[in-house]
Amino acid sequence: MTVKSTVPWRAGLVLGLSLLGFSLAAGGSPAHAAAAADHTYVAQGDDTFWLISKKLNVPLQALVDANPDVSATNIYPGLTIRLPETSASGTVHTASAEAPAEAATLMRAASTEPTVTAASGEVLAYSKTISAVASAYSDSPSENGAWGAVDYFGKPLALGTIAVDPSVIPLGTKVYVTGYTFSGLPTGIVATASDMGGAIKGNRIDMFIPRSVGNAWSFGLQNVTIYVLK
């Protein structure tokens, strides 16, 4: 357990998790109705690429390829998602021999980018890995000082909040942390670097664990691998 420093410059960022899913089909349900004639779909609720692919029965990779400008971790209600075009037989068109050479090259590059499979089964693209030592903290007043159970930006602490050394992991960075063991938590978790701690220097992180999940002090110090997500 590491007591965080109480710095007055906390004020606003919250964990965001989101990942892959999408697929095109004809039907009468609201989900299919949302797949408009112009081959678009408007994201709803907690939609991710993966959920959309299952909902509309569209190949996940074809959906991702059709939305190169959409971050898989930032799909929000109201966002317009482009659907892969289909032929009259319902076959999804993806890059092929007649596609521009540069498009095929981009698809090959995308298919070879490093990924990690999360505990949820979702596939996450990452830019680099960091070996670090993790500790844990809770929303206990004794661990958060006068500023209370909020992160550096003033947002309430939540599962997925981690405290970092910004010189190693910039604030606002989304990461996937794995390698730890703690009853009540999955074997890996997508998190946002939105907090700081007085003792969190170098390759160190402090993971927030709600008291409803367990006693953070029992986490101790554990070696973890951090995947910096794209």
Q: Is the pLDDT of residue 47 over 90?
A: no
Residue 9: pLDDT band (50, 70, 90) is very low
pLDDT at 37: 61
Residue in 153, 141, 206 with CA at minimum distance from that of residue 8: 153
Which residue range(s) make up the domain with 48? 20-112
Domain boundary among the residues 70, 85, 112 is at 112
Residue in 145, 128, 126 with CA at minimum distance from that of residue 197: 145
Coil, strand or helix: which one is 103? helix
Residue 201: pLDDT band (50, 70, 90) is very high
Q: How many Å apart are CA 110 and CA 65, to the nearest integer? A: 9
Residues 131 and 204 in one domain: yes
Domain boundary among the residues 73, 91, 112 is at 112
Residues 73 and 146 in one domain: no
Considering the domain boundaries, does residue 155 fall inside one?
yes
Q: At 226, which helix (H) or strand (E)?
A: strand 222-229
Mean confidence (pLDDT) of the chain: 78
- In this structure, what token pair is assigned to residue 56? 């509309």
pLDDT at 188: 95
- Please write the tens of the pLDDT for every residue from 162-188: 999 999 999 999 999 999 999 989 999
Q: What percent of the chain has pLDDT over 90?
A: 44
- Please write the tens of the pLDDT for every residue from 15-24: 333 333 433 3
CB 217 within 8 A of CB 174: no
pLDDT at 35: 56
Considering the domain boundaries, does residue 53 fall inside one?
yes
Domain count, the chain: 2
Considering the domain boundaries, does residue 4 fall inside one?
no
Question: Which position has the token pair 């500023």?
Answer: 147
Question: Which position has the token pair 């890059």?
Answer: 95
Residues 52 and 143 in one domain: no
Q: Is the pLDDT of residue 98 over 50?
A: no
SS3 content of the chain, % helix, strand, coil (to 5): 20, 25, 55
Domain boundary among the residues 90, 112, 134 is at 112
Considering the domain boundaries, does residue 69 fall inside one?
yes
